[in-house]
Amino acid sequence: MVCTILNTRRSPGQQRRLNDASEVHTRILQAVYCAFTGQPGPGPRFGQHWGAIGFQGDDPATDLRGVGMLGLLQLLYLTHHSPPAAQKLYQLSVSARQEFPLAVVSLNISRWALVALRGGALARHARRFGSHLAAANCFYCGAFYEFYARWVQGKTMREAGFVLKQLEEYAAQHPARLLRLAAAPEQAMAAAERHARPAA
């Protein structure tokens, strides 16, 4: 299934969609929710509880239309790549003064990963990591950790568009830096926290 999702001949809008008839898709969606929230079991397929991890409505499939199942798989990958880093991102996303829609930000970063992959920016890194999938996942994680480092500096939703635009440009220009960041996320996050400024 992963190979189908990352078929680079498709446009982002043609990525495999969340299929309610697929038990695998449903379990991935439920696993993402449980991994971030710490809930012992999944909630209903539809409902406001999805807002807790940053989806915009009652149905996560609506937000996934841009990058399909890749976006969901990368969210799940994030929780396995560095559970402490994933939890820091989640806790910041639900903080009183610096909240942000975790899933929406994640799906933006997944789109950047697809663009980098299709544009050839990850080709040589794919050889080093062993596959295009591995390189895309590490690029995604590195970009999300860089987002944390910027957001923790007192950013709020008023600045979200500006932060994401700047980070998208940075990611396009410096994929190697993001891949290095993905190798040591907890150290990078701790360094960012030491220089953090309170939200205005």
- pLDDT tens, N- to C-terminus, the chain (200 residues): 343 333 333 433 345 888 888 899 999 999 999 999 998 877 789 999 999 999 999 999 999 988 999 999 999 999 999 999 999 999 999 999 999 999 999 999 999 999 999 999 999 999 899 999 999 999 999 999 999 999 999 999 999 999 999 999 999 999 999 999 999 999 999 999 998 877 76
Tokens of 43: 């909630």
Q: State the DSSP H helix or E strand holding residue 37, giving kind and residue range, or none if neither.
A: helix 23-37
Q: Using CA atoms, how far apart are residues 59 and 17, in angstroms rounded to an integer? A: 13
Domain contains 102: yes
Domain contains 46: yes
Domain contains 20: yes
pLDDT the model gives residue 6: 39
Tokens of 168: 């998208």
pLDDT the model gives residue 87: 97
Q: Using CA atoms, how far apart are residues 179 and 104, in angstroms rounded to an integer? A: 21
Domain contains 77: yes
Say if CB 50 and CB 39 are below 8 A apart.
no
> What DSSP designation does 157 have?
G
Domain contains 1: no
53-83 burial, b for 16+ CB within 10 Å, e for fewer? bbbeeeebbebbeebbbbbbbbbbbbbebbe
Domain contains 6: no
Measured over the CA atoms of residue 177, residue 182, residue 183 and residue 188, the dihedral's sign is positive
pLDDT the model gives residue 2: 40
Domain contains 182: yes
pLDDT the model gives residue 195: 83
Q: Which residue has the tokens 């600045």?
A: 159
* Count of the separate structural domains present in the chain: 1
Say if CB 56 and CB 43 are below 8 A apart.
no
Radius of gyration of the chain (CA): 16
Tokens of 157: 């939703």
Look up the domain containing 152 and give its range. Answer: 14-194
Domain contains 3: no
